[in-house]
Chains A and B, each alone.
Chain A
Amino acid sequence: MKDISLPHLNYAALAPMLILFGVACVGVLVDAFAPRKARYPIQLVVALVGLIAAFVAVVLRAGKVTAENAITAAGAVSVDKPALFLQGTLIVLGAVALLLIGERALERGGPFVAQAAITVGSDADQRQAARESGATEVFPLTIFSLSGMLLFVAANDLLTMFVALEVFSLPLYLLCALARRRRLISQEAALKYFLLGAYASAFFLFGLALLYGFAGGITFAKINESAQNGTGNITLLYAGLALVSIGLLFKAAAVPFHVWTPDVYQGAPTPVTSLMAACTKVAAFGGLLRVLYAGFDRVHWDYSPIIAAIAVLTMLVGSILAVTQTDIKRLLAYSSIANAGYLLVGVLGNSALGLSSVMFYLVAYGFTVIAAFAVITLVRDADGEATHLSRWAGLGRRSPFYATVFTVILLSFAGIPLTSGFTSKFAVFSAAGGGDQSWLVIVGVVSSMILAFPYLRVVVMMWLSEPGEQTPSVSLPGMLTSAALVIGVVITIFVGVAPQPLLHLTSEAANFIR
């Protein structure tokens, strides 16, 4: 028997994942052993400290990473510059979303249910709604999810990517089911997300098997090599790539794999929706970029038309259906679908420029969308959040400050100059234009004009309608929500006014190492 040569693990490169993973385990132990009253403060501190430590580890590593030392864990993980940039983005966005998750000032006990297993509407349910504080398991689950995302954007082979996909998806399915208010639609959202997510994972796995048949290996280097040499069966390559892409595009919420998005965004607790809208998007596109750029670079002329068709569909369906929405969370869900389309346009740039523009877009969109959901958590009445659009009429008269904040966010979504929405759209469209995809840019611009309509309608409604009896008040945010809101809005404006530092950072980082 031959000896097994043991792999070298570069702990400095793996540190961010290790830290988050350890912190999540500590969180579970806190839930197991700490007394009920003490859990919330301990969890919040542990989670935030863990995220800060992980971010420090990412920054430290970013100074030392080279093409030679990027790949570690026997080739399973590639902590290269794009991976580190995306990991840093994920950690910061995750921390801001965690501030919303940890908010308990807006509602007694926070936005999460205490015991999800209690039958909805039973006596016990009414008792717990009245006086129990929310489940603290949401903190370790969030951290688990984030650690899976960190691995997902750094995976160097498809199997690692698949496990990471599951590690970050499973906690999200659970988190969706834990809303304190409107528990039935929250549970429905979780079930839908879980079932469709399981199908998407199955597609990914099937594609992985076919690609193994094509290349005789599942690392991106091996697939790339086989595609370059023309060895292996080309049908397996196409079928495998198609199936793997379905799994990834599902997470990215691209049409026609988007059907879960509106229901899940609406049903999930709003802080979790913000986590999904920001971080899942980053992870999904990070994974998609790595698969397409590092693994299938050689066949990019073959997949480009299909991805382009999906991008067009995504932009148009997302923006047109956004016009018909009457619920603010569903409106943002369709807007998130349309934004996935713009990101796909950037992906098709297929160059370092495409990569950097998509990363730029992800940062800009992530912070804006978290700020948007932060405002949504504030607009509430006795029954919880008032998400129906008609309820937002006249909000500008009642609370001008938050209406102004939300207007800034919506203008950024609409892509008005001097906001991050404009600079990021400009970045992806110019990358696509450089990649000979000018017609996509035209569709993109048309779609953003359609999409501007529902945003501006909300703005008009907020400012030009008289507040009625139904208009809810805006709750005074707690410290955590305020912090999230300030971070989101400041970055939205800063990236819009002075995009150079971020552009510099993304173009520095734009080089995948297989």
Chain B
Amino acid sequence: MTSALHLVAAAAAAGEVTTGEKAVFFILAPIALIGAIGMVAARNAVHSALWLVLTMLSLGVFYIVQAGPFIGMVQIIVYTGAIMMLFLFVLMLVGRDASDAVIETLRGQQAWAIVLGVGFAGLLGTGLARVVGSLKVVGLEQANADGNVQGIAALLFTKYVWVFEISSALLITAAVGAMILAHVDRSLRDGTAVMSQPERMRARFEPGSYPGPKPGPGVFATSTSIATPAKLPDGTPAQRSISPILPTRELTAAEVANKQTEGR
């Protein structure tokens, strides 16, 4: 792997582009562009996200071809894998049929945004195009001398070790933030505190609660309908035997009448 990198680096140092690199670029660049355009143009949000996957995968391959295998793999693992998954979940959270608001809160905002955006991109693009034409690429070979990942390790643990350690603060904040914004403690969600087993047991036998099984509907009645209340031994209907979601039903005379079993 390192020898291949050396060759690529050597070629880049000499200001050349290998045929393989050219071929990869001319195949994948249109695909990346199509993905980007598809992402903006797709009506369905999920399709839009999938177009973005295409672009990101192409970019990952570009990085690898340009002698940056580590960043290429990170692009594929973190962006195309984890972050796109997050995108899709958030889309499903909103509902995949949810569409953009078509009402402009600020009049002419879209037109201005397009004009300024294209203008800015044009300015930066032409400026960079002129610069890059005359730019000589140097230092790739030295940077990748021991291999790309080793080079990154050397930087990460010397010059940027402090930043590296501090970046764990970002990860903690991200995790805490996700918990704060998306997680509800169970006790608050149900409106009751989480009870211990003894507390639960005491609550079950407290006055007012009925610890035994409830009578099933229709059991002591003259009907098999679940909308007919059960009858208690003294003949009164037990309302708690009916599910609260059922509509109240007018009972027929036969259902109200006691069975011949009582009183014998």
Contacts and interface: CB of A to CB of B under 8 A. Distances in A.
Interface string A152-182: 0000000110011011001101100110000
Interface string B134-164: 1100110000001000100110011111110
Nearest to B177: A174
Contacts of B176: 28, 137, 140-141, 174
A124 interface: yes
B181 interface: yes
A124 B187 CA distance: 10
B167 A123 contact: no
Given A2-B146, A28-B176, A127 B188 contact: yes
Contact of A124 (B131, B139, B158, B191): B191
A143 B159 CA distance: 25
A180 to B, nearest CB: 14
Given A132-B188, A135-B180, A216-B139, A174 B159 contact: no
Interface residues of A, number: 55
A74 B154 CA distance: 12
A167 B180 contact: no
Contact of A21 (B128, B130, B169, B185): B169
A141 B178 CA distance: 13
A73 B128 contact: no
A444 interface: no
B159 A115 contact: no
A75 B158 CA distance: 10
A151 B166 contact: yes
A174 to B, nearest CB: 5
Contacts of B177: 170-171, 173-174
A9 B161 CA distance: 9
A144 B169 contact: yes
Interface string B6-50: 000000000000000000000000000000000000000000000
B191 A233 contact: no
Contact of A141 (B157, B173, B183): B173
B160 A159 contact: yes
Nearest to B189: A124
Contacts of A178: 180
A470 B158 CA distance: 62
Interface string B202-241: 0000000000000000000000000000000000000000
A512 B43 CA distance: 52
B184 interface: yes
Interface string A214-255: 001000000000000000010110010000000000000000
Interface residues of B, number: 38
B188 A76 contact: no
A213 interface: yes
A471 interface: no
A4 B158 contact: yes
Contacts of B139: 216
A268 interface: no
Given A4-B154, A124-B188, A239-B128, A174 B146 contact: no
A244 to B, nearest CB: 14
A1 interface: yes
Nearest to A238: B127
B182 interface: yes
B174 interface: yes
Contacts of A177: 180-181
A6 interface: yes
A148 B189 CA distance: 34
Contacts of A9: 161-162
A475 interface: no
B163 A160 contact: yes
18 contacts: A4-B154, A7-B161, A73-B162, A74-B160, A74-B161, A76-B162, A76-B163, A77-B162, A116-B181, A124-B184, A141-B176, A148-B169, A159-B163, A164-B166, A171-B173, A233-B131, A235-B130, A239-B128
Interface of B: 124, 127-128, 130-131, 134-135, 138-139, 146, 150, 153-154, 157-163, 166-167, 169-170, 172-174, 176-177, 180-185, 188-189, 191
A-B pairs with lowest CB-CB distance, top 10:
A73-B162, A74-B159, A174-B177, A117-B184, A170-B173, A163-B163, A235-B131, A7-B158, A4-B154, A167-B169
Interface of A: 1-2, 4-7, 9, 14, 17, 21, 24-25, 28, 73-77, 114-118, 123-124, 127-128, 132, 135, 137, 140-141, 144, 147-148, 151, 159-160, 163-164, 166-167, 170-171, 173-174, 177-178, 210, 213, 216, 233, 235-236, 239
